[in-house]
């Protein structure tokens, strides 16, 4: 009698096990390349699928979605996309300012206004006052640039790409305090005084020593400009000589203005650079209050120095420094002639 064959077992089919079944690991059931595929299923129903942006959540392989985006775009995640080496280039307006200053200097050197009035009529020169004003605006740009550069190197990176680091005084955040008022000071008082550096975020500068360096950077830049102009005038007018050349007289007055700007700004008065030196070593709400009202302190210092007695004392002090340091004793007279050219309405 034939023996019955044992029942055959059902052959195992290739039907995949259902993902999500109890006791199964969904990540193990997925193909290896599915972890890196873009999510297509959740595009319509809004459900976050594999590779979807889940608010920065880490993937199972430890990679960051944000990091993949930065790697794909070629950008450094630790670098602001707006930063560029052009943030430190001088502004085209500053280059134009220097060009206009040079052209006004050439016209003053040639005294072209006297040639225009060749018929013997008297003439009030207007190009030399323009030369002095343009030169003073360029000096202001250098003064504020020194503050901004020192602040940037000390930790205040908010100034990168700003008008202060690009030497553009016509685009200052506080154009009235940084450009208009110092120009008025020079035209009315014939001495240099800059506005308060209110654009510096002192809280971003960590140490007191760095704050002191930032505060002194402006006066140091003005002092270097005064020294350069003094050397230029001394070379053009050697000892034992005198001149009434308009361009040289304008340079002498700009030297005087930058020197007074460096000296007066050392006063520990709110609105001046010397106050920030003092504020670096003190604490209290009065410092914040003083900075808020810094503009009034600058105006008050100018008003005091504008008085005839104090103004004469300041002028005599600076002229005494000229006679002590410079080899030509007539430098003070040349600077005074530049003052007469500036204040042509007096």
Dist. CA 236–CA 230, nearest whole Å: 10
Distances (CA, A) of 269 to 149, 196, 295, 299: 23, 10, 11, 11
Catalytic residue among 5, 71, 113, 144: 144
Give the DSSP H or E segment for 68: helix 65-73
Interior CA angle at 299 toward 340 and 190, to 5°? 10
Give the DSSP H or E segment for 64: none
| 80-105 burial: b if 16+ Cβ within 10 Å, else e | eeeeeeeeeeebebbeebbeebeebb
Q: Is 11 designated active site? A: no
Q: Which residues contact 185 (CB under 8 A, 6 or more apart)?
A: 191, 192, 193, 302
3-state SS assignment for residue 56 = coil
DSSP at 21: -
By annotation, the residues acting in catalysis are: 144
């Amino acid at each position: 009698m034939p023996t019955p064959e044992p029942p055959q077992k059902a052959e195992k089919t290739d039907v995949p096990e259902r993902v999500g079944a109890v006791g199964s690991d969904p990540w193990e059931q997925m193909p290896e390349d599915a972890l890196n595929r873009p999510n297509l299923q959740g595009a319509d129903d809004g459900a976050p699928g594999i590779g979807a942006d889940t608010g920065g959540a880490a993937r199972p392989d430890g990679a960051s979605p944000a990091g993949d985006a930065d790697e794909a775009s070629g950008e450094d995640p630790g670098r602001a996309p707006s930063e560029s080496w052009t943030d430190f280039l001088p502004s085209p307006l500053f280059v134009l300012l220097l060009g206009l200053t040079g052209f006004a200097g050439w016209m003053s050197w040639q005294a072209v206004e006297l040639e225009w009035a060749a018929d013997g009529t008297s003439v009030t020169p207007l190009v030399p006052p323009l030369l002095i004003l343009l030169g003073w605006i360029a000096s202001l740009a250098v003064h504020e640039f020194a503050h901004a550069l020192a602040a940037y190197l000390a930790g205040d990176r908010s100034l990168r790409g700003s008008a202060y680091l690009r030497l553009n005084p016509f685009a200052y955040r506080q154009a009235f305090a940084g450009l208009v008022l110092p120009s008025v000071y020079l035209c009315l008082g014939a001495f240099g005084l800059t506005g308060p550096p209110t654009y510096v975020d002192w809280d971003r500068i960590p140490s007191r020593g760095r704050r002191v360096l930032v505060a002194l950077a402006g006066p140091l830049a003005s002092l270097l400009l005064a020294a350069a102009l003094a050397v230029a005038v001394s070379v053009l007018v050697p000892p034992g000589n005198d001149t009434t050349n308009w361009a040289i007289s304008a340079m002498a007055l700009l030297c005087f203005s930058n020197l007074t700007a460096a000296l007066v700004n050392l006063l520990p008065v709110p609105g001046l650079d010397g106050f920030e030196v003092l504020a670096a070593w003190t604490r209290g709400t009065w410092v914040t209050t003083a900075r808020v009202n810094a503009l009034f302190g600058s105006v008050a210092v100018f008003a005091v120095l504008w008085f005839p007695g104090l103004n004469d004392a300041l002028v005599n002090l600076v002229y005494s420094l000229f006679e002590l340091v410079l080899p030509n004793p007539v430098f003070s007279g040349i600077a005074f002639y530049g003052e007469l050219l500036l204040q042509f309405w007096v």
